[in-house]
Amino acid sequence: MTDPKLDEVLNRLDADLPNAIDRLMAFVRIPSISTDPAHDGDVFDAATWLTDQLREVGFAAEIRETEGHPMVVAHSPEDAEKTLLFYGHYDVQPVDPLNLWDNPPFEPRIEDTPDGPIIRGRGTSDDKGQLMTFVEACRAWKAVHGELPRGLTLLFEGEEESGSPSLVPFLEANRDELSQSLALICDTGRAADGRPAIATQLRGLLGEEIVVRGADRDLHSGSFGGLAANPIQILCNALSTLKDENGRITLPDFYDGVEDLSDDLRRDWEALKFDASEFLSRVGLKQPIGEKGRTGLEMVWNQPTAEINGISGGYTGDGFKTVLPAEARAKVSFRLTGTQDPVKIRAAFRDHVARFVPTDCTVEFHEHGGSPAAVMDTSDPAFAAAKQALGEEWDREAVFIGMGGSIPIAGDFKRILGMDTILVGFAKDDDRIHSPNEKYDVESFAKGARSWARILAKLR
Ligand SMILES: [Zn+2]
């Protein structure tokens, strides 16, 4: 099925690629490191540069102040009641250690590699190169047809790499302006085998810190051992019973809201041929643990977890000290999936631990964040349309994937703005984002822009 209007846009993108790469290089030359106050001016310069680009394309774009680094917000001139909201970030990670870079991080250059040409420099992949794929697609639509295929709102953040402190207040203050039918984010990667992917579910996260206290001082294990409560033992008993012998988490009603994979997702994930042993071998392991009967990808994308992240107490210095410690501490986190409720799970976890604490001891809990999973409603036809568009560009069927971690912005869009997000990115596993020698393949950049042109054509 050909679309002559789209073909003209794709041809334009191909012809304009050298200029698009020049523009990306200019963007990368601005060292917009958001976490370092010494670069505040550079972050502002990057916002200004991006705003100018968007105006050149034909958007009504402006810099919007926040308590921290500014947002860039742009609206297409096309009249539309509901538009699509595109999000990216123009700030970058710090660059040290500098001596591990082959070329200065803010002097980008093109290198030929056995896998094709790449653009090397900080931010080429995360996220300047990725966000520019979308801007270039818009530029080509506008240049060829004089208008964008549909109404668009663009939101660019300058604090993504430093914790996004201004994002939630900004979304809340501008809810009407930013609530659109659907969000698009370009800050993720392709599947490990290089095929295009749309991330449709991201796990949530819940953190708890536990402090168990026993006697009012450390005790001699000869005088008190066998008689007095030992807080480390109490903690171990509570934590060791969080999972049963099959790897299932034992908290009551813990699995409420956890969905088994749909047939479609199961097929997509099987096509990725994920090898759990090989994956583990990269970190010096080989034996998958976890719930029996589940595939590796199910365990990292679709199943919840309970993990002990830290534990301390008693004497661990040199030599030996036969002590019953007065207190013991642990940090435990849960990755959540489906519609699991962090509030209920926190309560169930606290009840569970409390049951192991004798009446003459105490337990104290400190919460460290709690956000549910973000699961997109892929029955929205936009998902199938985007998947098909990606497949046509890359000549390989695109896949819906999960993500073991979270991308807080996708959850924020859902919670604050009430919309789902199509997470499409073209980065590769070896792009070295956040590390020295970050790069973005010219193929990722060129076909990324073409992918967005196709997606916009389908979402017209
Ligand atoms: Zn990023």
pLDDT at 365: 98
**160 CA → ligand 1 middle, Å:** 7
Choose the weakest-confidence range: 182-186, 269-273, 404-408: 404-408
Structural fold of domain 4-202+374-459: Aminopeptidase (3.40.630)
Mean pLDDT within 350-379: 95
Global pTM value:
0.91
% of the chain with per-residue pLDDT over 90? 94
**311 CA → ligand 1 middle, Å:** 31
> Taking Cα atoms as reference points, which of 24, 124, 88 lies closest to residue 435?
124
**257 CA → ligand 1 middle, Å:** 29
**288 CA → ligand 1 middle, Å:** 29
Asked if residues 95 and 57 have their Cβ atoms less than 8 Å apart, the reply is no
**153 CA → ligand 1 middle, Å:** 19
303-319: per-residue pLDDT in tens? 999 999 999 999 999 99
Distance CA(99)–CA(103), nearest Å, equals 9
Asked if residues 389 and 451 have their Cβ atoms less than 8 Å apart, the reply is yes
Distance CA(208)–CA(203), nearest Å, equals 17
pLDDT at 328: 98
**358 CA → ligand 1 middle, Å:** 47
Asked if residues 162 and 43 have their Cβ atoms less than 8 Å apart, the reply is no
Residue 190 has φ and ψ, to the nearest 5°, of -80, 170
**138 CA → ligand 1 middle, Å:** 21
Task: Give yes or no for residue 290 having a pLDDT over 70.
Answer: yes
**442 CA → ligand 1 middle, Å:** 18
**126 CA → ligand 1 middle, Å:** 5
86-130: per-residue pLDDT in tens? 999 999 999 999 999 999 999 999 999 999 999 999 999 999 999
% of the chain with per-residue pLDDT over 70? 100
pLDDT at 306: 97
**Considering only the top CATH level, what class is 204-258+304-371?**
alpha beta
pLDDT at 180: 92
Q: CATH 3.40.630.10 residue ranges in the chain? A: 4-202+374-459
Mean pLDDT within 63-78: 95
**366 CA → ligand 1 middle, Å:** 30
**237 CA → ligand 1 middle, Å:** 40
Of the pLDDT bands very low, low, confident and very high (cuts 50, 70, 90), residue 77 is confident
pLDDT at 369: 87
Mean pLDDT within 294-310: 96
- Supply 36's token pair: 């370092």
Strands (DSSP E) contained in 95-151 are 109-113, 116-120
Of the pLDDT bands very low, low, confident and very high (cuts 50, 70, 90), residue 1 is low
**440 CA → ligand 1 middle, Å:** 13
422-444: per-residue pLDDT in tens? 999 999 999 999 999 999 999 99
Distance CA(221)–CA(191), nearest Å, equals 55
Task: Give yes or no for residue 232 having a pLDDT over 90.
Answer: yes
Q: Are strands 152-157 and 204-213 parallel, antiparallel or unpaired?
A: unpaired
Task: Give yes or no for residue 226 having a pLDDT over 70.
Answer: yes
Distance CA(44)–CA(91), nearest Å, equals 10
For the chain, the average pLDDT equals 96
Q: CATH 3.30.70.360 residue ranges in the chain? A: 204-258+304-371
**228 CA → ligand 1 middle, Å:** 51
**90 CA → ligand 1 middle, Å:** 9
pLDDT at 25: 98
**DSSP secondary structure, 2-49, as one string:** --HHHHHHHHHHHHHHHHHHHHHHHHHTS--BTT-GGGHHHHHHHHHH
**353 CA → ligand 1 middle, Å:** 37
40-49: per-residue pLDDT in tens? 999 999 999 9
Of the pLDDT bands very low, low, confident and very high (cuts 50, 70, 90), residue 14 is very high
Asked if residues 424 and 442 have their Cβ atoms less than 8 Å apart, the reply is no
- Supply 77's token pair: 């001139």
315-343: per-residue pLDDT in tens? 999 999 999 999 999 999 999 999 999 99
**89 CA → ligand 1 middle, Å:** 7
Mean pLDDT within 66-89: 92
Task: Give yes or no for residue 166 having a pLDDT over 90.
Answer: yes
What number of helices (H) and strands (E) belong to the chain?
A: 13, 18
> Taking Cα atoms as reference points, which of 77, 96, 75, 100 lies closest to residue 85?
75
**231 CA → ligand 1 middle, Å:** 42
